[in-house]
A and B are shown apart, each in its own frame.
Chain A
Amino acid sequence: MQIENIRLSYSTEIACVILCCRVFIKTAKAEELEQFAVTHEIDWPEVYRLSASHRVRPVVYHVLVNNKIPVPATALRQFYNYCHIQSVFAFERRIESARIQKLLFQHQIPSRMYKGLDFTMTVYGDEIGMREFTDMDMIVDQQHLPALIEVMIAEGYTSNQLNYFRRFPKHFIKGKKDICFEKRNANGRLFCFEFHYRPTSIMLDMPLGFRELLGKDYLTSTLPITRQQYYRLMVINHGMSDYYPNLRSLVDLELLTGNHSLNVPQLLQRHERLGKILINRLLKGSIAEDRNKNADILTKRLLKPILPGFKGKMTMRIRFSTSPRSLRRAFHFILLPNETDINTVSFRFFQMYYFIKPFRLLKRVLRD
């Protein structure tokens, strides 16, 4: 898609954000962005808001400053303030991740850094503050969850999933892919850990686990996760699980791929293809018509001022179901009780929560 078409069909501001991403990944020249900024009236607070919802504020700021694009000082300050906080927080999270990993190791709980910081260091060239992220992700083995919970609680972390895990551990492990903890540090900043024992929810009908994707030594290897391994993990994470929810997911994949020849197993290929179409359209400005109904829907969503929430994700999950079995799983996923249901009411049997979930969902859909 041409920037001018995006501008005319959607908004000047989303066109500006996309152009910044293109300059960042070098599919557009800085002169084009400069010309764009000079010739159009841009609502810079809106550019900031869109950059935030697409999680590309550091990328946009980096491009605007390094290419000396004429931007009002107040707008640039807004980006600077966020990026400064993000960098400092990234430093702190890196230290805390290393501390927790060491602690887990001392308790014979093997873990491996994944996504977030580790991905940023691998793909964004050691620029720790260049990629927006909130959680610290680690891979663990599900058999270590009880011991891991003890360690994290002893460290002052809390989790709203503990009640669920303790009351229905088998359902938890079957239905969830990770367990999450959080804690505020002395400065009030929130540290969030996600310990993944499966790359996707079991409801996505994905037979590949970390062992298949990263190898038998996926927890104990001291080698960094390779680009090829990350490519598979990110097609699963950004594509299969989240349906390319923002521009960051596309920038991630494009930076990861670069000139490398990477591939995914057959069952991920349509998700990979979807990502490639979106990258071609939005980040590479391809004007060749690559007809794909799902890509058309996602393209429109990515260009709209408000990104899709829960309802949008669920719609895509149903659209992507290819067989009655996967459709059933998608519906099951929607109706599967979670920690919110279990923390709200106390039922003796897990199955009883299936009755209250639809009401909560309906409320959420109406709110969306």
Chain B
Amino acid sequence: MNLENIVCRNEEKFMISHLGDEVVLMDVQQGHYININPVGSAIWNKLSTPLAVKDLISSLVEEYGISTGQCEDDTLKFLQKLQHHHMLNVQ
């Protein structure tokens, strides 16, 4: 995955519940639960519509006041995790 990719969350196989600022998902086919922490939930919420990874990072840098380098690292790791669990569509 790179900064030019367009990403969008994939909800098809999941049941979702919002717990305050966290999100809990259940993979309906596998029966696994996934908890997303508040920052991850903020990313998850932004991915309701297709978005370029670089634009996602820009908005997070602005929102959380962190360095672009750190944000890129953390966000790409998180997006890869989502992809691993089939929670992300990547173009």
Which residue numbers of A lie inside 8 Å of B, CB to CB? 61-62, 64-66, 80, 83-84, 87-88, 90-92, 94-95, 127-130
Contact = CB atoms under 8 A, between A and B. Distances in A.
Contacts of A64: 20
B21 A84 contact: no
Contacts of B33: 88, 91
Contact of B19 (A87, A91, A92, A95): A87
Main secondary structure of the interface of B (DSSP, over half): strand
B19 A129 contact: yes
Contacts of A84: 19, 24, 35
B1 interface: no
Given A88-B33, A91-B26, A95-B28, A83 B21 contact: no
Contacts of B16: 128
A83 B21 CA distance: 12
Given A88-B26, A91-B26, A62 B20 contact: yes
B17 A127 contact: yes
A64 B20 CA distance: 8
Minimum-distance CB pairs A-B, first 8: A65-B20, A87-B17, A129-B17, A91-B26, A91-B15, A87-B24, A83-B19, A128-B17
Contacts of B24: 84, 87-88, 129
Most buried by B among A65, A94, A130: A65
Interface string B1-44: 00000000000000111111100101010010101000000000
A127 B17 CA distance: 6
Contacts of A65: 19-21
Contacts of A88: 24, 26, 33
Interface in B44-58: none
Given A91-B33, A127-B17, 4 more contacts: A83-B19, A90-B17, A95-B31, A128-B16
Q: Which of A62, A65, A91, A128 has the most CB of B within 10 A?
A: A91
Nearest to A98: B28
